[in-house]
Amino acid sequence: MKKSILFILLFMATISIVAQEIHKTAKAKDETKVDAAADSLKRWFVTGSGSLAFSQAAFSNWAAGGENSVGLDAFINLKANYRKGNHAWANTIDLGYGFQLLGKKKDLRTSKTNDKIELTTAYGYSITKNKKWFVTALANLRTQFSAGYNYPDDSTVISNFMAPGYLVVGPGITYAPFKGFYMYLSPASGRFTFVLNQALADQGAFGVDSSKQVRTELGPYFRADLNKDLGGNVNLASTLELFTDYFHDFGNIDVNWNLLVTFKVNKWLAASFQAQLIYDDDVTIKSSPDDAGGPRTQFKELLGIGLSYQFNK
């Protein structure tokens, strides 16, 4: 009986010791996982800014003339970059939408002032000790949220979501000499133009062959991206894209340049200036109904003051 009790006590003590060791091991593993997760999060660098600007004009018995208007413009620019060893992964989300209401209640008209969706992702692997040169695979998608019209005609649709849509995919080399700036060059990238609106596709809009919804091109692609603080309250973000097709008018360069300058007043108030310049040799633009049309330099600028927020994490 005494031996049995002693055996039971020894068995229980052994179980207790083993349980404690298992608990210590599990706790150590959990702490390791937490540390690894925390270390993984530290490798992400997220920056961004957003703005909501409002404008309004009203006239009553105004001798010089004028038209009532209410406008709203919003944009979000986010960057999420990951670095670990020789690996680098950069992601950018650039969204913008704006509109204005013109006229009085009886003849109220709506006009877009901004409409933009641009997503970019690029994975790079460093090939130099200073980690300034990377072998890179990049993808960029650009389109818009809603239909665009041939204003003041607000019944004729001339663009829509993924009409056009532009997708560029390709391998290349990235040079990143300092934080906030990189240049990417691909000797052969695929550029796909989508017109997923059959009525526009039937017209051969945006360079697609009549009735087709996709145009495929192959050629060199260059991209430069800059994001830099110019003092404590001013931030400049600019992107330049250049592309030409090997098999169709090689040397005619398509250009897409974006500029965003943010002037921070305080934590919640800022002024912003946005500009975009586009030249696409395959896009026909008519200056009048009788004009035969042809490629033109497209330019857009927006200036706004309103609620704004910037963050770095």
Give the pLDDT confidence of 96-135 residue by residue, as tens digits: 999 999 888 778 888 999 999 999 999 999 999 999 999 9
- Same domain flag for 139 and 286: yes
Coil, helix or strand at residue 30: helix
Please give the average per-residue pLDDT across 273-289, as a whole number: 86
**pLDDT at residue 27 in the model:** 55
- Same domain flag for 32 and 74: no
**pLDDT at residue 311 in the model:** 76
- Same domain flag for 17 and 131: no
b/e per residue 19-31 (b: at least 16 CB within 10 A): eeeeeeeeeeeee
- Same domain flag for 110 and 19: no
Range of the domain at 166: 48-312
Please give the average per-residue pLDDT across 137-159, as a whole number: 92
**pLDDT at residue 2 in the model:** 42
Asked if residue 162 lies in contact with residue 141, where contact means CB atoms within 8 angstroms, the answer is no
Output the CA torsion 204→240→248→250 (10° steps). 160
- Same domain flag for 128 and 154: yes
Q: Convert the pLDDT of each residue in 22-59 to its tens digit.
A: 555 555 555 544 444 445 557 898 988 899 998 888 88
Coil, helix or strand at residue 79: strand
Q: Which of 313, 311, 270, 273 is CA-nearest to residue 51?
A: 270
Asked if residue 256 lies in contact with residue 241, where contact means CB atoms within 8 angstroms, the answer is yes
**pLDDT at residue 120 in the model:** 96
Angle value at C-alpha 239, between 163 and 223, nearest 5 degrees: 85
Is residue 215 classed exposed, middle or buried when 0-12, 13-18 and 19+ CB atoms within 10 A define those classes?
buried
* DSSP annotation of 105: G
- Same domain flag for 3 and 136: no
- Give the total number of structural domains in the chain: 2
List the CATH number of the domain containing 79: 2.40.230
Secondary structure element (H or E) that encloses residue 24, with its range: helix 2-42
**pLDDT at residue 112 in the model:** 93
Please give the average per-residue pLDDT across 150-155, as a whole number: 83
Coil, helix or strand at residue 22: helix
Question: Is a pLDDT exceeding 50 seen at residue 4?
Answer: no
Question: Is a pLDDT exceeding 70 seen at residue 268?
Answer: yes
- Same domain flag for 273 and 226: yes
Q: Provide DSSP, 175-242.
A: EEEETTEEEEEEEEEEEEEE---HHHHHTTGGGPPTT-SEEEEEEEEEEEEEEEESSSSEEEEEEEEE
Q: Convert the pLDDT of each residue in 9-18 to its tens digit.
A: 444 455 455 4
Between 38 and 242, where is the model more confident? 242
- Same domain flag for 18 and 57: no
Cβ contacts of 224 within 8 Å, gap of 6 or more: 181, 182, 183, 184, 239, 240
- Same domain flag for 123 and 21: no
- Same domain flag for 161 and 293: yes
- Same domain flag for 251 and 169: yes
- Same domain flag for 206 and 304: yes
